Amino acid sequence: MKTVLITGCSSGYGLETARHFLSQGWNVVATMRTPREELLPRSERLRVLPLDVTDAASIAAALQAAGPIDVLVNNAGIGLLGAFEATPMDTTREVFETNTFGTIAMTQAVIPQFRARGAGVVVNVTSSATLAPMPLVAVYTASKTAIEGFTASLAHELEAFGVRGKLVQPGYAPTTRFTSNGQSRMQGLIPEAYAPFAQSVFASFGQLQAVTEPSDVAEVVWRAANDTSARLRYPAGADAVALAGAS
């Protein structure tokens, strides 16, 4: 029986992905900053562990507690919506610490066991913002685009050791906590000069016909984790699939 470790399981994609792998009979190590076992079904195949991907000691402790794993899903991330001009550099660094460096640190920590075993999969969850230019998410897009390049290179680097790298690119998901989770860091990021433009952008979001549900992402992460081909990118959600086809 295979084991997957998933980061960022307290809500959204991570939570639904943990549920999906459980339903498929896998052992699941669901990690989150503050463990909440009640979020997931009771199962002997489930462990819920604390993990802060921005803290090296936390990463080491979580991986030691998890034991050998077959798949790492780097899903933990934070959102940011606002005008770049008004975004403090400290906020930019905060986004990169989780979305970029957190993913890189987790990946580096699991590679030795994958390489030694001659098998393993790293699935990095990015965003459809990497597929087409989108306004008011410049910092967020940069943090996710960095992981696109990182994963593409890493997949080549690890192929000789039997380790696969995969990218899952979710579309716009209005049902997740992307915006609410980042409210505090987004305050003041839409200056008055940008207000009319921002209002038009927000209105366009509300008119989208095709959006992404967490279940879409969970299914695609599952597919990527089990795909033994050399395919790298997997758009998730009808809007992401459409963007990928147009790019």
Q: Which residues are catalytic?
A: 140
Q: State the Cα–Cα distance between residues 232 and 214, nearest whole angstrom.
A: 20
Rounded to the nearest 5 degrees, what angle is found at the Cα of 208, between the Cα atoms of 219 and 184?
80
The number of residues in the chain equals 247
Residue found by looking up tokens 């597919």 in the block: 223
Residue 245 host element (H or E): helix 238-246
What type of residue sits at position 219? E
CA-CA-CA-CA dihedral for 56, 61, 63, 64, to nearest 10: 140
Looking at residue 230, what DSSP letter applies?
Answer: S
Q: State the Cα–Cα distance between residues 94 and 14, nearest whole angstrom.
A: 20
